[in-house]
Homo-oligomer: A and B are copies of this chain.
Amino acid sequence: MNSEVDEQMALISEYYPDGIYSQFVPEQGVASTKPRRRRRKNKGCEGGDGAAALRKRKLSDEQVNLLERSFGSEHKLESERKDRLASELGLDARQVAVWFQNRRARWKTKKLEEEYSKLKSEHDAAVLDKCRLQTELLKLKEQLHEAEKEIQRLSDGFSSNSPCSSFSMEVAMDPPQPFLGEFGMGLGLEHVFYASHHDNCAHGLMEWDSLYYM
């Protein structure tokens, strides 16, 4: 019922005459100084089948499965493994190499996404923690203030002073002390600063969606 009319339309796509790569690009006048071509093995038209050099897209599930398993055990691909896989799968060694390159790229992207999610949740937790700490801090300062008043009251109200007490009165009013010197700095991504993003509470809880159009 799903409008899947499969009337013939051919998915081929590419055809390598294997001798035609004419250099002329008719329009699009560019200098085209040198037609130097690199590394263009005999790929394509002498593979195994007499069927003339048809690109075949979409590897089969089995092929993908094996490739995937192989990738799972090791991302790198040495010649030997490549050739073995190629013959096992009935593919070009070139295709196997390309597949691995693309797979690595995909893996990297996915990994970045995962890391982003992880970092995001950690960050949110940290921000919440900061909130909690700040609240607690405020409460403590208040209590300390009360305590000081109490002390003042007690020591003033009765005698003039109380000996053997080295209690200092300058509490709870210390400046925020800079503290951020050098740390694990400047190694990973290019521009990772410790810029004080002055994120007080209630900040930094947005979702990855909105920043699409920016």
Report the count of interface residues on A (CB-CB < 8 A). Answer: 120
A134 near B132 with CB under 8 A, answer no
Interface string of A173-214 (1 = CB under 8 A from B): 010110110011001111111111101000011111101111
A177 to B135, CA, bound (A): 11
A14 to B53, CA, bound (A): 12
Pick the contact of A112: B7, B116, B158 (CB < 8 A).
B116
Chain B residue numbers with a CB within 8 Å of A184 are 205-207
B128 near A130 with CB under 8 A, answer no
B9 near A199 with CB under 8 A, answer no
Report the nearest B residue to A48, measured CB to CB: B27
Chain B residue numbers with a CB within 8 Å of A209 are 187-188
Tell me whether A28 and B60 are in contact in the complex, defined as CB-CB below 8 angstroms, given that A153-B162, A154-B162 are known contacts. Answer: yes
A111 to chain B: closest CB distance in Å? 7
Chain A: interface secondary structure? loop
Pick the contact of A134: B13, B122, B133 (CB < 8 A).
B133
A146 to B172, CA, bound (A): 13
Answer whether residue A42 sits at the interface, using C-beta atoms and an 8 A cutoff. Answer: no
Tell me whether A12 and B8 are in contact in the complex, defined as CB-CB below 8 angstroms, given that A116-B116, A121-B194, A130-B126 are known contacts. Answer: no
Answer whether residue A102 sits at the interface, using C-beta atoms and an 8 A cutoff. Answer: no
A176 to B61, CA, bound (A): 53
A115 to chain B: closest CB distance in Å? 6
Q: Which residues of A contact B (CB under 8 A)?
A: 4-17, 20-28, 30-38, 40, 48-49, 51, 54, 56, 60-63, 75, 90, 108-109, 111-113, 115-117, 119-134, 136-137, 139-141, 143-144, 146-148, 150-151, 153-155, 157-159, 162, 165, 167, 171-172, 174, 176-177, 179-180, 183-184, 187-197, 199, 204-209, 211-214
